[in-house]
């Protein structure tokens, strides 16, 4: 009863009440792997991820061999900066379910966080072969390619992600960075402007918009954005240096 009630409340967006019901479910049946997994998943949704980790681990002890639990556990581990452990969980999910595109993408994200850029690129590509419309994989692949200095290859993946998620601030911003890296400052200006329309206090976007404008000879506008970046982040030394150089 408590498990069903908790799941229903979480599904309706009543997260606090849902978590309370799921906690009661675990108290009543601590040996239920399903109850532990459901509670752990709900805890991640209310930003109680450190508490969720022990329940994910218990769920796998009590009910081993469930790919989705490994996947959710891996995502939780990555969110608290434990990338190596996240990799192990996603790899186990893929042993159990080799065509699990979300787990393949999550493995790549964890590898990228761990600095393993080339394996991440390979796994993002593999995820997209199975699920070509997976936005997270396009965005992640673009980030990985950009980190590898392959900015021209990154650009179409950022653009694909933005066609599905046009309000993704980071995708606009990182696309701007990639465009700037391939000497397309006019196009970069458009992307930074789009990012700032969605998030006006984005200091880094103001900084790089200033840089792109300066490259286009639009010095007065560049100064405004460098000054805004410094107002938002007074310790932003790159903006201060670029402003002084104009």
Q: pLDDT per residue over 162-172, tens digit each?
A: 999 999 999 99
pLDDT tens digits, one per residue of 105-114: 999 999 999 9
What pLDDT, on a 0 to 100 scale, did the predictor assign at position 79? 96
* Rounded Cα–Cα distance for residues 106 and 136 (Å): 9
- Residue 8: what pLDDT? 76
- Whole-number pLDDT of residue 52: 96
The pTM (predicted TM-score) of the whole model is 0.90
pLDDT grade for 150, boundaries at 50, 70 and 90 = very high
Task: Report the alpha-carbon distance of residue 164 to residue 157 in Å, rounded.
Answer: 11
Q: Which of 4-13, 24-33, 145-154, 162-171 has the lowest mean pLDDT?
A: 4-13
The values of phi and psi at residue 190, to 5°, are: -60, -40
Which run of H or of E encompasses 104? helix 101-113
User: 37: number of CA atoms within 13 Å, CB side?
Assistant: 19
Least confident range of 35-44, 79-88, 187-196: 35-44
């Amino acid at each position: 009863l408590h498990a069903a009630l908790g799941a229903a409340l979480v599904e309706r967006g009543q997260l606090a009440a849902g978590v309370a019901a799921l906690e009661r479910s675990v108290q009543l049946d601590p040996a239920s792997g399903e109850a532990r997994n459901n509670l752990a998943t709900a805890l991640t949704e209310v930003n109680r991820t450190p508490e969720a980790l022990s329940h994910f681990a218990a769920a796998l002890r009590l009910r081993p061999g469930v790919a989705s639990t490994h996947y959710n556990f891996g995502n939780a581990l990555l969110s608290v900066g434990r990338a190596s452990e996240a990799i192990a969980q996603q790899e186990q999910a893929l042993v159990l379910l080799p065509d699990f595109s979300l787990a393949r993408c999550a493995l790549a994200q964890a590898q990228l966080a761990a600095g393993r850029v080339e394996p991440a690129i390979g796994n993002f590509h593999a995820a997209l072969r199975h699920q070509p419309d997976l936005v997270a994989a396009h965005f992640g692949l673009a980030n990985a390619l950009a980190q590898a200095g392959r900015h021209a290859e990154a650009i179409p993946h950022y653009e694909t992600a933005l066609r599905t998620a046009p309000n993704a601030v980071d995708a606009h911003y990182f696309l701007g960075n990639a465009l700037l890296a391939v000497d397309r400052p006019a196009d970069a200006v458009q992307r930074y402007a789009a990012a700032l329309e969605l998030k006006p206090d984005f200091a880094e976007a103001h900084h790089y918009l200033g840089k792109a404008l300066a490259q286009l000879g639009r010095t007065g506008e560049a100064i405004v954005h460098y000054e805004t970046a410094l107002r938002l982040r007074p310790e932003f030394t790159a903006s201060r240096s670029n402003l002084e150089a104009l």
